Structure 1
Amino acid sequence: MAAMKCLISTNISSHSMHKIPSFSSTSCKLMCSGVAPTSTTPIRINSSLQSTIPISPKLKQQQLRKVDLEYTKTNEELREKTRGTLQKALDPMAAMKLIDTLQWLGISYHYEEEIDFWLGKLSQWDADDDDLHATALRFRLLRQNARPVSSDVFKKFRVNGKFRKSISEDKEGLLNLYEASCLGTNGEDILSEAAKFTENELKLSSANGILPKHISRRVGRALELPRHMRMERLESRLYIDEYNIQENHSLLLLEQAKADYNEVQLLYQSELAEMSRWWKQLGLVEKLTFARDRPMECFLWTVGIFPEPKYSSLRVDLAKTVAILLVIDDIFDTYGTINELSLFKSAIQRWDLNAIEQLPQYMKICYMALYNTTNEIAYKVLREQGRNILPFLEKAWIDAIEAFMIEAEWFNNGHTPRVEDYLENGVTTSGAYMALVHAFFLMGEGLTIENVKLMAKPYPKLFSNSGRILRLWDDLGTAKEEQEKGDNASSISLLMKEKNMVHEDEARAYTMKLIHNLWKDLNTELLGSNILPLPIIRACFNMSRTSQVIYQHQEDSYFSSVDKFVDLILFKPIA
């Protein structure tokens, strides 16, 4: 881990929001005019995992705050008091409320053993027949932690095949049922019905002004975006402010949450400093002046996917791979000719330094950076875990480059792909598979002979579903901007053509349904039968959550400012 006391320096430009187009404006114009791109036409390819985010260059000026040892000691004292409470003989409802609050505040990772103990007890316990709040809260806590729990527990609140209207009087229970319904899978009709019922009832209660003050704000937040789909680290920061104004909040938990948030923020800053030093020493963008120079963006993604402090080293290593992927994307996006791209693909497929001799100078530099960084990560895992993962990392990169080349050939031949082909290939070019394979091994948790074999084509459905959500949110967030630039191919435009849609809003609504169903597919991974370890499952959920925060931008909403989120997560401590 990098030292806490250091200066963060980087060379990040503060461009306006710009997404790498799925199809190039050059290629599009040529295809529309009936002229195929030539071998010297640069091919623009998308790689959405490392999208461009408007970030001001705070790292040039900001010095890391020192870690006060007395401050850290105080934090640990607060944790011990909370741990003591969890170890007491609480009644199940009190335990569930405490666990839920710890998770909201982002400090539950300190109490994994105690929470696991309580989840085991809750699996053997059931709420009273008329206690909607307890039933829904128990279901959500168990389901989100991949503990077996059946949605049939909600049948007792139905009559004649419908939810009883009377349960709407329990506003807390209604809200918890709504949140629980968002963990439903395809085929769990009772949860789909619960989602519709509770959403309608909560909206009606909110419109009529009959919600109690202490729950009104929470209902508004849930209806805007269910908690299950919120980016964990950002949600913790926002909820700490919300918890602070709640009546009867625990001062002990509030103080602990604030102190912990600031302490982890210091860790993030030290990691970003390490990442920035590595990036500067690599010197890649100094040689390849066309490439974007944005290590902070790459690091932000890793914080969204792996927010816990224990993944400190993983965040740095993964950010390195995403930074290199960004440069490779720029080669395909703005600089390389179709012939050069073909040479680059062949060299990557060989994974041999001798292969670089046939490459242009700018590609040699990029190849060496990729080759050395990948081998360093593989060596690190071999040293720490005794596992040779280099063949898996090589293959993940080869798959990514081959997917870029598939798109290049589509564009070069003037071919418009089917939506399904576009999405399937787009998951790979987004960097999702590459990132998750690296993360799986860097985490090193729950690895078995069986699940290690899954880290190659065909990748787990879990990875694909998460990558598709990323790909679709990217297109939803940037399609209009790209059309204005002359880029007319994304899942939105392809859907309009394939489904004979007249208006873009139709395609957007259809895409939202696709995302909704993909979330249900993701939730299937929580039913407890997956051979993949829970940490990588959670990482896939976090990738999907982070994608929405990055790409959905609405004024006066949870998604209004990515720049603000960067400031809250990485720079601004809680007073």
Structure 2
Amino acid sequence: MFHPTTKSKNCCFALNHHLPRRAASLKTNLALTADATTPTLQEVDRPLAHYPPDIWGDCFINLQFSDSEFESCSREVEVFKGMAKNMLMASSKDPLENIFMLNTLYRLGLSYHYEDEIEQQLSHLFITLPELMDNKDYDLHTTAIIFQVFRSNGYKMSCEVFHKFTNGDGLFKEEVASDIQGMLSLYEASQWRLHGEDILDEALAFTTSRLESMAKQLTNPYLADYIEKVLHRPYHKGMPRLEAKQYISFYEKDDSRNDTLLKFAKYDFNRVQMLHQQELKVLTSWFKESNIETRIPYARHRTVECFFCAVGMFFEPRFALARKILTQWYVATSLIDDSYDAYGTYEEVQHFTKAFKRFDIRAKDELPIEYLRTLYEVVMNIFAETEEEMSKRGRAYSVDYTKKELMKMVQLYDVQARWLHEGSRPTFDEYLEIGICSIGGPYTMALCMIGIEEADETVYQWAINPDNKIVRLSGLLSRLYDDTQTDEEKRGEISGRDFYMKHYGVSKEEAIEGLSRIACFLTVIWCGNYSIEEFAPKIQQVIDWFGQLQALELTAMAVPLELFDPESLIKSASTSLNSKVVSQYSTLLAPLAVDSVVSVVDPEKPDLI
């Protein structure tokens, strides 16, 4: 929690760990026989994962909440909110001051208070942008901030504004490297580059190398730490609340800070955090009262982590219902996934799949074993509660669309279970077709829209369209990432690595490298500026989140390429070209592609391939 007049303390809800990876282990247990017409049990080896227990216990259930502290904080927020609004409106008289004000509000996590005002100001500023940029000789820092503010809000500001900082060869002038503030802003601006914007590719390479060197040489620990944080994760790729908390800590050390905005940011952060803690108290109590941990002991029990993911999507107070729905459905999906992957036999999950097609609580009694009945009941109860809530709001369609996507995903779980049971090995392409949806891309997109009032049926029809390239590519990237990070095959489960190894006749290590190269190639396509419908800002934010999530995950997947290793380059190109359309020509096209790239690339700047 932040203290408005003192140095900030650590946020008590800043999670710094990920869900534990699966650990392979087999354990003898009871299961249905393959030919059972009645519930006959026999000893069987189950692919148990032995997930670590929930580390939180009753921490949030027992969390004390001070109404007086919350009310006091809320009063302060309202006072500072009015003061900041006056400052925002006054800044509109000076375009440059206005843009810097907007940037500060974004970074401090305060912009959600003024969404309408900010949109109006940005629209006006963008109209006057040519005059703003042509008549002023702004320095690098100022230019980069202007670029960031517009690009981050969906305005296609031209990257040509950075040409004046380059020499005749298209390289950035060395004299700008001494401007630390400008280099930091240019680095962050380069994160908004689109495919084909060479000057921003050059900006990324130029600033990365210089900033890495600066961080090691600076005697100012505050500035060195800030540079390292920026290089580690650009702010727009992080979780908004954590990024705001980090920036508040840096901002209070900035001599040019606005103390009114700083105090506002601290009070607001504390107030929102208290709201989140209250919501988490309710959700962890729900999980405990449902007795899920005892009734489904083999699965991951990660209510807190699921809520943390929901906060990453919707932190604003008005999305409390969205966070609740998202957390409960994430919990349910995790239980289903673990039942298929880490406990159920093929015969058992067949019964569950059949019942799930009905999606009717009465089908529970037809399930032959208790853990399946419990799982089914949990899912049906969450669905019924969500449907009732959305029906009151006239948005029952949102639950229906989400239910259908979940049913599709569970059926694909069953397909994968059948592959494993029958020992069949489809082609790598066939696996990906199933894996794109079984990873939950369309389902998650539909689920995230439930709590957004602006998400009408038009949005849902767009989101679940099988030809939707954004959702499909997101699912593909998620699947590739998952297949390079998990160890399903150790428990006898299927994995993309296994299919890739068989398809191309390579080792496990080579398969991981191949999958990583495909994913890195696809990130270029992701940045290809797909046009999307004109949706409400929050809906576009959700869509953007899918791309940012994949970009964040893929950082760890990047495989460096040796420019002067033709064999490695051709192998990478062949992998990238192995789509259904051109795979039969990959051996011909790959060498041509490599020759073309090598003939034009600058050996001193191989990162710009």
- Does structure 1 residue 153 correspond to structure 2 residue 161? yes
Instruction: Tell me the number of residue pairs that the alignment of Structure 1 and Structure 2 aligns.
Output: 518
Match of 1:223 among 204, 228, 231: 231
SS at match of 2:298: coil
Alpha-carbon shift at residue 135 of structure 1 (Å): 2.5
- Does structure 1 residue 399 correspond to structure 2 residue 399? no
**Residue 151 of structure 2 corresponds to which residue in structure 1?**
143
**Residue 364 of structure 1 corresponds to which residue in structure 2?**
373
**Residue 244 of structure 1 corresponds to which residue in structure 2?**
252
Instruction: Kindly provide the CA deviation profile for residues 516-543 of structure 1, in whole angstroms up to 9, marking residues without a partner as x.
Output: 8437616735x6x434443233224445
**Residue 56 of structure 1 corresponds to which residue in structure 2?**
56
2:61, 2:284 within 8 Å by CA — same for their partners in 1? no
1:206, 1:216 within 8 Å by CA — same for their partners in 2? yes
Distance 1:140 1:352 in 2: 49
Distance 1:118 1:161 in 2: 37
SS at match of 1:389: helix
**Residue 83 of structure 1 corresponds to which residue in structure 2?**
85
Distance 2:349 2:493 in 1: 23
Distance 1:498 1:193 in 2: 37
Matches within 5 A, 1:46-445: 55-57=55-57, 58-68=59-69, 69-88=71-90, 89-123=92-126, 124-125=128-129, 126-127=132-133, 128-129=136-137, 131-165=139-173, 166-207=175-216, 209=217, 215-362=223-370, 363-416=372-425, 421-445=430-454
1:43, 1:334 within 8 Å by CA — same for their partners in 2? yes
User: What percentage of aligned pairs have identical amino acids?
Assistant: 26
2:466, 2:472 within 8 Å by CA — same for their partners in 1? no
Higher relative contact order (CA 8 A, sep 6+): 1
Normalising by structure 2, we get a TM-score of 0.74
Alpha-carbon shift at residue 358 of structure 1 (Å): 3.2
SS at match of 1:445: coil
Alpha-carbon shift at residue 430 of structure 1 (Å): 3.6
SS at match of 1:162: coil
Distance 1:515 1:532 in 2: 28
**Residue 519 of structure 2 corresponds to which residue in structure 1?**
514
Report the structure number with the largest CA radius of gyration.
2
Gaps of 5+ in 2: 1-16, 28-32, 36-41, 557-609
Q: 1:75 corresponds to which letter in structure 2?
A: V
Distance 1:411 1:67 in 2: 57
1:472, 1:511 within 8 Å by CA — same for their partners in 2? yes
Normalising by structure 1, we get a TM-score of 0.78
Alpha-carbon shift at residue 400 of structure 1 (Å): 1.6
Alpha-carbon shift at residue 107 of structure 1 (Å): 1.6
Q: 2:209 corresponds to which letter in structure 1?
A: N
Distance 2:219 2:170 in 1: 23
Stretch deviating more after TM superposition (116-125 or 498-507): 498-507
Q: 2:519 corresponds to which letter in structure 1?
A: L
Alpha-carbon shift at residue 217 of structure 1 (Å): 3.5
2:159, 2:197 within 8 Å by CA — same for their partners in 1? yes
1:272, 1:299 within 8 Å by CA — same for their partners in 2? yes
Instruction: Kindly provide the CA deviation profile for residues 422-473 of structure 1, in whole angstroms up to 9, marking residues without a partner as x.
Output: 55544434444323212213212253x5333124351733333444454455
Cα 1:422/1:391, change in 2 over 3 Å: same
Alpha-carbon shift at residue 142 of structure 1 (Å): 1.4
Alpha-carbon shift at residue 398 of structure 1 (Å): 0.7
SS at match of 2:533: coil
1:231, 1:542 within 8 Å by CA — same for their partners in 2? no
Instruction: Kindly provide the CA deviation profile for residues 36-65 of structure 1, in whole angstroms up to 9, marking residues without a partner as x.
Output: x9899677699xxxx979633322543223
Cα 1:517/1:179, change in 2 over 3 Å: farther
1:231, 1:549 within 8 Å by CA — same for their partners in 2? no
Q: 2:119 corresponds to which letter in structure 1?
A: D
| CA RMSD between the two structures | 3.8
1:231, 1:545 within 8 Å by CA — same for their partners in 2? no
Cα 1:306/1:488, change in 2 over 3 Å: same
Q: 1:80 corresponds to which letter in structure 2?
A: G
